[in-house]
Amino acid sequence: MKFFSQNKMEQEDVLDEMKKFNSEDSNWRDGKTWSLVYNAGEEHSKFLKEAYGMYFSENALNPTAFKSLKKFEHEVVRMSAEIFNGGEHAVGTMSSGGTESVLLAVKTYRDMAKSKRFLALRKFKPEMIVPESVHVAFNKAAHYFDVKMVVAPLDNTFRVDVEAVKKLINKNTILIVGSAPNYPFGTVDPIEELGKLAMSKNIPLHVDACLGGFLLPFVAKNGHNIPLFDFRIPGVTSISADVHKYAYAAKGASVILYRNMDYLKYQFFIDEDWPGGVFVSPALLGTRPGGAIAAAWAALKVQGEEGLREKAKIVMKVRDQIQDGIKEMPELRVNGTPEAGIFSFVSTDKDINIYAVADYLEEKGWHTDRQQKPASLHVMITTAHEHVAESYIADLKKSIAEIKKNPERNKTGNAAMYGMMAKVPVRKLIKNELMKVMKEMYSVSGETPTLDNSGRDDLATKIAKKILN
């Protein structure tokens, strides 16, 4: 099959073909997707597209060429610093997303530690202590930057055990990490306690607020009890937060903030000897899309505190509706006591496979993320879900009734595969098979995993089949 045509195509034909591809994607426009997309309605999306389009071709690689982009980035950082109570000394940069912000934080603290321990470089092996629930981006950062990731367990509230963190600290510890909130359970780690520990040991503390950073402050302003997690805690040295999540900006916008320039300077890359000229880069990317930076500034300006408080109110209203519905079902239980609109729930009935519940929901058009440790389903509420809570709860109740009526559903389709995946004795087998699948997906053929009879197969299913069949 030839992909690159010798002849030109009509623009209309290309767009029509794209629409056909799009028809098979998750239905986020009707509020049936519980992750990946943060949408504040058609009017807001239209506004963002216009703001992004104004800077479609501009490149933030060179701030002297496009001074407007530098102004936008500066003001996004300043607005974020105000939201997170950073005071006049907080500094930072924008990045392409939460993963880049996390990578930058780990790289910064590694380099800072090395600069202060240069006499012992041969013996120094940097380590960072993270909660078991920390975002997988930290695993990636550890892999990329050769920093050992030391994992601290959670307590029975699904928050990191501070005493366990304390016991894990050693001479190689360069960083402590807490989440606000974490992705799997939506709970905020005890950042105040971590801050005191970090201060006593003179170790930096990074707060990963990529997921809920632009939600929690406004939930708090609306009167909900949200624990402190920002720069008001003396031990917090940096915060990452995604503008393209609960600040409803265009994709590709996050911020990484530091308490002051003493930290940020280790993030910069400078090469004064390159034949192409002196090269300076504030973040990982070289070319930085101007549209994402401009749209982030526009999103924060057009909404302001008033707009984000209104959206936070909607999120919490829907959160309460869905959690109240779950409480009416003795077969299900929410994990812990999440602070905002991100949570997961498990089956409390041995005869109800939570993955079978997910299968049923998918048949009804809901895109639901499955989790492990424990087996659970994940929900991230946005304003797009304002009018779907009742139908979601109704389908949840129907799924329970359907599985009780037909217990075989627990042992078929993705429910069976995910259940078997959890029982694989050697987890490295999964990693090996996943590598094979990735090679296949990104090979010359570029084929996605084959579909099973349900039409809803995915990576986990394919891997399970390879390992267990």
pLDDT score for 451: 39
Q: Which of 338, 90, 86, 389 is nearest to 219 (CA)?
A: 338
Average pLDDT over residues 341-355: 94
Helices of type H across 156-245? 162-168, 191-201, 216-221
Is residue 438's pLDDT more than 70?
no
Q: Which of 116, 240, 131, 100 is nearest to 172 (CA)?
A: 116
Is residue 345's pLDDT more than 90?
yes
**What is the rounded CA–CA span in Å between residue 102 and residue 207?**
10
pLDDT score for 409: 85
Is residue 238's pLDDT more than 70?
yes
- Of the listed ranges 118-132, 182-196, 421-435, the one predicted with least confidence: 421-435
CA 67 remoteness from chain centre: 30
Helices of type H across 252-406? 261-264, 290-327, 354-363, 389-405
Backbone angles phi, psi at 152, to 5 degrees: -95, 140
pLDDT score for 463: 61
**What is the rounded CA–CA span in Å between residue 207 and residue 182?**
10
Average model confidence (pLDDT) across the chain: 87
> Which residue spans within 8-147 are E strands per DSSP?
91-95, 127-131
The per-residue DSSP string of 344-383 comes to: EEEE--TT--HHHHHHHHHHTT-B-EEETTTTEEEEE--G
Token pair in block for residue 424: 């694989």
Is residue 350's pLDDT more than 80?
yes
Q: Give a three-class secondary structure readout of 21-35.
A: HHCCCCCCCCCCECC
pLDDT score for 56: 86
User: How many C-beta neighbours within 10 Å does residue 255 have?
Assistant: 28
Using pLDDT thresholds of 50, 70 and 90, give the confidence band for residue 415: low
Q: Could you tell me the CA-to-CA distances from 51 to 72, 78, 244, 286, 299 in Å, in that order?
A: 12, 20, 14, 22, 9
Is residue 365's pLDDT more than 70?
yes
The strand pairing partners of 93, in sequence order, are 256
How does strand 236-242 pair with strand 269-271?
A: unpaired
Is-contact 184 378, C-beta < 8 A?
A: yes
Q: Which of 310, 211, 238 is nearest to 84 (CA)?
A: 238
Residue with tokens 């999964």: 430
Q: Which residue has the higher pLDDT, 230 or 278?
A: 230
**What is the rounded CA–CA span in Å between residue 434 and residue 419?**
17
pLDDT score for 449: 55
Is-contact 217 188, C-beta < 8 A?
A: no
- Max CA distance (Å), the chain: 72
Helices of type H across 125-281? 137-145, 162-168, 191-201, 216-221, 261-264
Is residue 285's pLDDT more than 90?
no
Using pLDDT thresholds of 50, 70 and 90, give the confidence band for residue 453: very low
Highest mean pLDDT among 25-34, 293-302, 458-467: 293-302
Highest mean pLDDT among 36-45, 51-60, 182-191: 182-191
Is residue 280's pLDDT more than 60?
yes
Is residue 59's pLDDT more than 90?
no
pLDDT score for 282: 85
Using pLDDT thresholds of 50, 70 and 90, give the confidence band for residue 455: very low
Is-contact 52 295, C-beta < 8 A?
A: yes
pLDDT score for 462: 60
**What is the rounded CA–CA span in Å between residue 225 and residue 89?**
27
Is-contact 331 347, C-beta < 8 A?
A: yes
Q: What is the pLDDT of residues 171-188, one digit of tens each?
A: 999 999 999 999 999 999
Using pLDDT thresholds of 50, 70 and 90, give the confidence band for residue 452: very low
Q: Which residue has the higher pLDDT, 40 or 361?
A: 361
Highest mean pLDDT among 29-33, 68-72, 449-453: 68-72
Is residue 454's pLDDT more than 50?
no
pLDDT score for 434: 67
Q: Which of 349, 468, 357 is nearest to 420 (CA)?
A: 468
Q: What is the pLDDT of residues 105-120, one digit of tens each?
A: 999 999 999 888 654 5
User: How many C-beta neighbours within 10 Å does residue 223 have?
Assistant: 9
User: What domains can you pick out in the chain, each with its CATH number?
Assistant: 51-300 (3.40.640.10), 304-416 (3.90.1150.10), 425-468 (no CATH)
Is residue 442's pLDDT more than 60?
no
Q: What is the pTM of this model?
A: 0.87
Q: Which residue has the higher pLDDT, 34 or 71?
A: 71
